[in-house]
Chains A and B, each alone.
Chain A
């Protein structure tokens, strides 16, 4: 800040004060504070008795956390995979010059307008072992029918995944459909001339061309997965037992009810780690492409962090 090329308008500085306060206060100081606390033995209130990595050692010996980590991978893998596959299928089918496209779009997207709490409660009711989907099908005559994933420790997490997909697939569909519509008409003409079947064109030609849309959808999914909290609380409260625990739930439990702030903050820091890695990878690619473009000498200061998703 030694040499200012542009004179700062004092009004501009005042106008930007809330943003600067948020950026520095919340997204720098609060994060550092959390990380610092993870090296202390804070219980209910913060203190600064440093104990090194002891909290992290404890964390990775805590079954509740280990289950959380396993669940976030399971939940992340299945919900993102299904979201992408189902979302792309819906987008492709929506792209067939169908009638009532707007009606279908409205139907596929409306769950996203509902909160995850509502989503969780509805699906919990549908998956109710005594009066839900299971009993409805049994009453139709299929007396051996079984569908009550939430009552079983081994399957509860899949029940949560079904609800999560219901909530979010429409968004993926909308993004991918926009990507499909962005593919040049010439590509389709060329594919037809070459006699390539439609399904092959969708799978091998347009799909790789929509990398941007897929990355957008993927990043949105990832952020959603790391943050998953409401859905768990509404659907299972982490149960049965601790079988549907998630890192986000773990942190909140440890700073409130379980009053073990040090351990909670160690967990929170672990949650930050994958995000940092993702941003670092993205930064590396941005830096590499900038170096390649350096020849042009464009002095455009490309913005760092959020450049990850360039779809358009």
Chain B
């Protein structure tokens, strides 16, 4: 699973060995207790921030000022959540984080659809309709997976401005499609390459053309890899910050950018409870995707980290 996603060698990418390979445990020994102690302490480190976020978001400001970070709220209040969603201020606008949420939806939904459609076509063409040069372009694209964004961002700004796409919704969607393309193309290419070739040959003999084979045979078969791709892209685009700041413009500011603005531009007293409620709201969608998708998420994770 781990390397299959990055290796350009075709692989099914779904080989997960479930059985632990370690030595068989004896009874409850000191070592066993040590193992569990280590895991539980680690789990606490990982869960602590989530706990802090949750309890802080339900506390009142006077209670927060007492400085008991980890305590369960004494007076339970939903006020911070309502404020975070609807009335928290960024600069002069006081509409909370909700506009950011809808902007993120407007960016993520078409972004996911467009990027995955193009990547599926790429993978299909690279697997079955190779032509001289197609592999070179793929090689360049793979190189792109490792290029720091900062190297291409400025020319891209100039280009988008020339095309009239800078700070527009189509503009940011195109940017997400571009930077999602290397890893998604690789995913689909490896997937299609792992299918039996007879399938394609039979369809060819029956006289099916390029698009027919794609839509009637390959697309329906690629559902498993498409699910991985959707998980990858939904979390990736939703969590994006850099492209949102640079390319989305004020009108389409995604949730992450707005969250950062709410937290960092507060004038006067900082309302930590409102900030934490807003933070949870911004993390809610990818977290929901994670908890619902479970194992699928793990499958996509090695691939997704390349995009990081």
Contact = CB atoms under 8 A, between A and B. Distances in A.
Interface string A1-38: 10011111101110110111011111111110110010
B202 interface: no
A20 B35 CA distance: 51
A42 to B, nearest CB: 9
Contacts of A171: 301-302, 305
B290 interface: yes
Interface string B58-100: 0000001111111000000000000000000000000000000
What DSSP secondary structure best describes chain A's contact surface? helix
Interface string B139-158: 11111111111111111111
B34 to A, nearest CB: 9
A29 B5 CA distance: 27
Contact of A16 (B32, B125, B241, B287): B125
A9 B158 contact: no
A72 to B, nearest CB: 11
B23 A198 contact: yes
What DSSP secondary structure best describes chain B's contact surface? helix
A97 B19 CA distance: 8
Interface stretch (B41-49, B105-113, B222-230): B41-49
Q: How large is the interface on B (under 10, 10 to 19, 20 to 34, 35 or more residues)?
A: 35 or more
Q: How large is the interface on A (under 10, 10 to 19, 20 to 34, 35 or more residues)?
A: 35 or more
Interface in A208-223: 212-213, 216-217, 219-220, 223
Contacts of B141: 19, 22-23, 27
B195 interface: no
B155 A33 contact: yes
B256 to A, nearest CB: 5
A150 interface: no
A242 interface: no
Given A115-B241, A220-B305, A309-B7, A110 B49 contact: no
Nearest to B287: A113
B205 interface: no
A298 interface: no
A133 B6 CA distance: 39
B199 interface: no
B130 interface: yes
Interface string B182-194: 0001100000000
30 contacts: A1-B132, A15-B121, A15-B125, A18-B122, A22-B178, A23-B141, A23-B144, A26-B144, A30-B155, A97-B25, A105-B298, A107-B47, A110-B290, A113-B235, A115-B238, A126-B52, A131-B67, A131-B272, A171-B302, A171-B305, A178-B2, A178-B17, A212-B3, A230-B241, A261-B154, A268-B151, A275-B146, A303-B139, A304-B142, A306-B139
